[in-house]
Amino acid sequence: MKLMITGGAGFLGSRLARALLARGSLAGARIEHLVLADQVPPSAALTADARVEARVGPLLAQCAALAGEHFDGVFHLASAVSGECEADFELGLRSNLDTTRALLDALRASVLAGAPPTRLVFSSSIAVFGPDASALLPAQVGDTTLPAPQTSYGTQKLMCEYMIADYTRKGYVDGRSARLMTVAVRPGRPNGAASSFFSGIIREPLAGQEAILPVSPQTAHPISSPARTIEGLIAVYEASREALGGRLALNLPAVNVRVSEMLDALEAVAGRTVRERVRFVADPIIASIVANWPSAATAERAARLGLRPDADFADIIRQYIADCALAPGGAEALKGMRD
């Protein structure tokens, strides 16, 4: 089978690629060719695998150029993130909406040429939910909660969900959209996502560095580990249409947690000194974005696929520590635990 991951050089894309290559098959078919499409090259460890092809360049142009090429499956992860989309409206439209439309039209061209529909998994977001005077947010958003996004990023993700549902209805793709919860703990440097601090307040203190908390410690939000997120994406791909229970998007599982509980877990795992490296400095822009996100979520359809959330946030921290210990440079990433 021939697969593609857009955003294949990114954190989740690279992790998904490693998981697929290690499995060797997907939905009962052997993986023979895996295209990683991104604006930057993937790691040498990935391209060393003979099954991997790296395609580097602007993703909008890459997607538009796919017409006539058939893929058995696509994981569409590429996206401009929340903070970037708020700061640069055109970037969000181009990176999220236009690229998805170009990808869908290329896959549609393959069907019109006689190929079977490509199975497409789209990584949507919890950000599709927001408060509106006509549809207030419930205490927990579920699969059937009315989306009312309050950010450009969330709006673009929702628009892509509906496009994918309609292309699926028409038989141009076999699409399924999974709403990712905020993924933590992400390694590396902070990115432009408004949610970046959810990882930063854990990652930086463990590395012996100060971290800034820009929102109230009472802020609550659904969080998922990278491992559970990848597990969810693969399960959504492999599920039958009947098991999915419809073509509309479904929530992936999450741990519903307050920031104060995240810090309590950090202290329980790594000690008081590490926790004290987190300093509260209010950021009204980030706070206003996060205030319009759900504070908790449920995932009943994902549960019917056998997916479950992480045990608790302390377990998510331990997963990050274990991942760092195995990764090159991991000792440096965790040096703060020894201080």
Q: What is each CA distance from 27 to 4, 23, 176, 239, 240, in whole angstroms?
A: 15, 11, 15, 8, 10
Structure-token pair, residue 39: 């604006």
Q: Which residues contact 158 (CB under 8 A, 6 or more apart)?
A: 124, 128, 147, 149
Determine the pLDDT at residue 193: 75
- Does residue 259 form part of some domain? yes
The predicted-structure confidence for 223-267, as pLDDT tens digits, reads as follows 999 999 999 999 999 999 999 999 999 999 999 999 999 999 999
Q: What is each CA distance from 130 to 16, 123, 139, 155, in whole angstroms?
A: 28, 18, 12, 10
Asked whether the beta carbons of 35 and 63 are under 8 A apart, the reply is: no
Answer whether the bond into residue 185 is a cis peptide, omega within 30°.
yes
> Which segments in the chain show pLDDT lower than 70?
191-192, 326-339
Determine the pLDDT at residue 192: 65
- Does residue 252 form part of some domain? yes
- Does residue 251 form part of some domain? yes
- Does residue 18 form part of some domain? no
Taking residue 273's Cβ as centre, other Cβ atoms within 10 Å add up to 13
Q: Which residues contact 90 (CB under 8 A, 6 or more apart)?
A: none
Total count of domains within the chain: 1
The predicted-structure confidence for 162-199, as pLDDT tens digits, reads as follows 999 999 999 999 999 999 999 999 998 776 677 889 99
153 is catalytic: yes
User: Nearest Cα to 162, choosing from 177, 145, 172, 140?
Assistant: 177
Determine the pLDDT at residue 81: 82
Determine the pLDDT at residue 68: 85
- Does residue 10 form part of some domain? no
Structure-token pair, residue 296: 């908790």
Asked whether the beta carbons of 315 and 257 are under 8 A apart, the reply is: no
- Does residue 7 form part of some domain? no
**H or E segment and range at residue 181:** none
- Does residue 256 form part of some domain? yes
Give the residue numbers spanning the domain of 122.
58-338
> Whose structure tokens read 């599920």?
239
- Name the active-site residue from 153, 167, 172, 320: 153
User: What DSSP designation does 143 have?
Assistant: T
Determine the pLDDT at residue 270: 96
- Does residue 194 form part of some domain? yes
> Can you give the CATH number for the domain in which 234 is found?
3.40.50.720
Q: What one-letter code names the amino acid at 42?
A: P
